[in-house]
């Protein structure tokens, strides 16, 4: 049988309306011991995915562990993207075992969930494994997660992939939400996020626009 190509996206690609984002334990105490990724890059990537989710109106859960008594506040880069949104504070290391978080997940009602946070081997593996077990379609943003060592992070990534979760990167998350430069409603916000937090790609966007007035695709 010969396959026939059609001009439409694969169902495994994410869209702004088909998932929720859960940002877990991006807190000072957790970041102090994170060694698998530089703190400044972690904060940059947390900002990138937060702004992407906000721009595309992705329902987002913000959760912390022992915020007042031990771990400290969530990164300003995330809080600034969601002004006024409350943090769901937990005692459990596994977000999926917290009744308040589960109530919010059920209220949002998306079967596809994307996770990011600290640490990969504990606070990301726990809810990913639990969500997969309950039939959810799980993704995780690997470069917006971190752990106490490269080894700990990589083994956690392997474990989640073996469970069926799909890895992504922060810039990939932003660009997969946009996916077509003809989508003019989000063009400016997407390129604006890229210019500020998109590393070398963002520099390229800034250069092209400044020097040549260039734009992606057919966007006017």
CATH number where 65 lies: 3.40.50.850
33 and 131 assigned to the same domain:
yes
The total of other beta-carbon atoms located within 10 Å of residue 218's CB is 8
Q: Is residue 87 part of a domain?
A: yes
Tokens representing residue 50 in the block: 């937060």
C-alpha closest to that of 124 among 203, 13, 37: 37
The total of other beta-carbon atoms located within 10 Å of residue 194's CB is 24
Q: Percent of the chain at pLDDT above 70?
A: 96
Rounded CA gap, 118 and 68, in Å? 17
Give the range of the structural domain holding residue 166, as residue numbers without chain letter: 20-179
| CA distances to 21, 43, 65, 66, 151 from 87, in Å | 14, 18, 10, 11, 30
186 and 132 assigned to the same domain:
no
152 and 71 assigned to the same domain:
yes
* Residues 58-70 pLDDT 10s: 999 999 997 777 8
* Residues 21-74 pLDDT 10s: 999 999 999 999 999 999 999 999 999 999 999 999 999 999 999 777 788 899
The residue-averaged pLDDT of 206-218 equals 68
Q: Is residue 12 part of a domain?
A: no
Per-residue confidence (pLDDT) for residue 207, from 0 to 100: 72
Rounded CA gap, 45 and 26, in Å? 11
Residue 1 banded pLDDT, cuts 50, 70, 90: confident
């Amino acid at each position: 049988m010969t396959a026939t190509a059609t001009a439409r996206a694969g169902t495994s690609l994410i869209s702004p309306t088909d998932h929720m984002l859960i940002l877990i334990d991006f807190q000072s105490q957790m970041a102090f011991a994170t060694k698998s990724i530089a703190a400044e890059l972690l904060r940059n990537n947390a900002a990138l995915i937060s702004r992407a989710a906000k721009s595309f109106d992705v329902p987002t859960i913000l959760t912390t562990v022992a915020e007042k008594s031990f771990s400290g506040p969530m990164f300003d880069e995330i809080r600034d993207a969601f002004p006024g949104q409350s943090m769901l504070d937990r005692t459990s290391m596994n977000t999926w075992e917290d009744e308040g978080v589960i109530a919010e997940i059920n209220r949002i009602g998306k079967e596809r969930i994307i996770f990011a946070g600290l640490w990969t081997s504990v606070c990301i593996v726990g809810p990913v494994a639990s969500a997969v077990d309950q039939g959810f379609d799980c993704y995780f943003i690997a470069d917006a997660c971190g752990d106490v060592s490269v080894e700990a992070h990589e083994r956690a990534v392997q474990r989640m992939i073996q469970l069926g979760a799909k890895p992504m990167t922060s810039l990939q998350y932003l660009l997969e939400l946009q996916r077509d430069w003809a989508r003019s409603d989000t063009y400016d916000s997407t390129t604006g996020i890229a210019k500020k937090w998109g590393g070398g790609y963002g520099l390229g966007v800034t250069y092209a626009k400044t020097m040549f007035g260039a734009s992606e695709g057919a966007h006017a």
